[in-house]
Amino acid sequence: MKEYKAVKVKWDVNLEQVNKLMNDMAKDGWEVVNVTTEPPNTLNFVVVLCREV
């Protein structure tokens, strides 16, 4: 069975926040399924992750 999680991350020029989130979650066994932007004026990423439970 898979567990899914969607996380909103603020956009920054160097993408440090989204990279840190993905690296931290990978240590806990999460895999990135999708990364998308919210509507153009919001400057946020939505990262969808999953893992086996």
- pLDDT tens readout for residues 4-53: 999 999 988 888 999 999 999 999 999 999 999 887 778 899 999 999 99
pTM of the predicted protein model: 0.82
Contacts of 42 (CB under 8 A, 6+ apart): none
Contacts of 21 (CB under 8 A, 6+ apart): 7, 9, 47
Contacts of 5 (CB under 8 A, 6+ apart): 30, 48, 49, 50
Report how far residue 6's alpha carbon sits from residue 37's, in angstroms, rounded to the nearest whole number: 12
